């Protein structure tokens, strides 16, 4: 299964929307702390997230804990600084897709470390950027297709 990672997510509605998308695509969701909202059972129930029990969630306490989990794997970084269009990589079923914080993106050290694995989504219309949840859905859908998740 694909792994979708949110680096220090800032907007709970985006995280909820992305979590729902990962359930729909049978992907794992990883959240790298810190973030400033709660995802306790009570908070999730109060928000009416009926799909939350189906989220395959791993929370990483900090950047170092996430990098330890990554264990040498080469992730794909979704960023406006990407040199590859999001549909060009040959995604595999266990790939890791990382999206940055809504306000600050991904750390420069990560962008430099995986400079040849940065993907971007073209913007054809007059907008500054895509919403994080929309970007996650676009890339996860295409990566799932390329990885053979739909049995094609």
The strand pairing partners of 96, in sequence order, are 3
- Return the CATH architecture of domain 3-146: 3-Layer(aba) Sandwich (3.40)
One digit per residue, the tens of pLDDT, for the chain of length 152 reads: 999 999 999 999 999 999 999 999 999 999 999 998 888 777 777 666 788 899 999 999 999 999 999 999 999 999 998 999 999 999 999 999 999 999 999 999 999 999 999 999 999 999 999 999 999 999 999 999 999 999 86
> How does DSSP classify residue 72?
T
Instruction: Identify the CA nearest to 92 among candidates 28, 136, 27, 143.
Output: 143
Task: Report the distance separating Cα 22 and Cα 17, nearest Å.
Answer: 9
Boundaries of every domain in the chain = 3-146
pTM: 0.94
């Amino acid at each position: 299964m694909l792994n979708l990672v949110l680096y220090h997510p800032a907007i709970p509605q985006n995280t909820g929307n992305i979590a729902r998308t990962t359930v729909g695509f049978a992907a794992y969701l990883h959240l790298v702390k810190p973030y400033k909202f709660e995802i306790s059972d009570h908070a999730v129930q109060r928000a009416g997230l009926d799909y939350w029990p189906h989220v395959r969630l791993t929370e990483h306490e900090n950047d170092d804990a996430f990098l330890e989990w990554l264990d040498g794997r080469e992730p794909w970084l979704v960023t406006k600084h990407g040199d590859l269009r999001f549909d060009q990589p040959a995604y595999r079923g266990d790939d890791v897709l990382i999206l940055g914080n809504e306000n600050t993106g991904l750390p420069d050290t990560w962008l430099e470390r995986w400079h040849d694995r940065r993907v971007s989504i073209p913007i054809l219309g007059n907008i500054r950027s895509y919403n994080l949840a929309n970007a996650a859905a676009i890339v996860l859908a295409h990566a799932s297709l390329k990885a053979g998740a739909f049995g094609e």
